[in-house]
Amino acid sequence: MAKELSFTHEDSRLQPLIDMAIDKNISIGAGAPLKGENLPKIGLLFISAAGTVESYAKMNLHPGEDKFFDKGEHFHHVNLGGYLVDNAICADTNNEKHAEHYFGLGAAIYVAGVLITKGGYQADTEVMKNYAKKFDLLVAMANHNRPTGGWAAAGKSAIWSKDGLLATANETQSAIVVAEQCATGWSGCVIAI
């Protein structure tokens, strides 16, 4: 199914998101399969406020994903408001060299879309908390909060700074977890939607 539904940067299905990004002057990140040479890639489509489309493909696949997907080969970041924002997808966050590479490029913010279950939540989020501290990054993690693909996701999307947890949603809350820089550093909140 992913192969049939995969996207390119020129895909007409992106037009509503492009129009919204331009109209609202926002940047949008949307998870989607990306066209590959042989197999699709697990991806993120990034649409800027100017309407340009870029993408990032997951570089670190879980065991078994390689039967259906090719891995990405290129790191991706964008400059938003003067901050270098770097992208990760799921298992990328469990490879310290991934975050370390971005740190070496001058990253300020590390953003990951993930699917973490209750059984893996504590260990996986401890890793992200440690990246925030070790690399002085703002680390934002968006996790599914409903069952998907046979997995019971844990929810609890969160953001960490070098000083620790800034904000976290609960297990089932439909919300946006937000960080804002103020004079004393980063602060966070959860906005229910």
In order along its 193 residues, the chain shows pLDDT tens digits of 999 999 999 999 999 999 999 999 999 999 999 999 999 999 999 999 999 999 999 999 999 999 999 999 999 999 998 999 999 999 999 999 999 999 999 999 999 999 999 999 999 999 999 999 999 999 999 999 998 888 899 999 999 999 999 999 999 989 999 999 989 899 999 999 8
Q: How far apart are CA 190 and CA 165, in angstroms?
A: 12
Q: Which residues of 112-151 are buried (b: 16+ CB within 10 A; e: fewer)?
A: bbbbbeeeebeebbeebbebbeebebbbbbbbbbeeeeee
pLDDT at 173: 87
Tokens found for residue 65: 């994903």
Q: Please give the pLDDT value at position 150.
A: 87
pLDDT at 147: 86
Note the pTM of the prediction, 2 decimals: 0.93
Residue 57's pLDDT is 98
Structure confidence at residue 151 (pLDDT): 87
CA 45 from chain center: how many Å? 10
Q: What would the DSSP string read from start to end of 68-95?
A: T-BPP----EEEETTEEEEEEEGGGGG-
- Pairwise CA distance, residues 86 & 69, whole Å: 22
Q: Phi, psi (5° rounding) for residue 106?
A: 95, 25
Residue with tokens 């990328």: 92
Please state at what angle helix 118-135 crosses helix 96-104, rounded to 10 degrees. 30
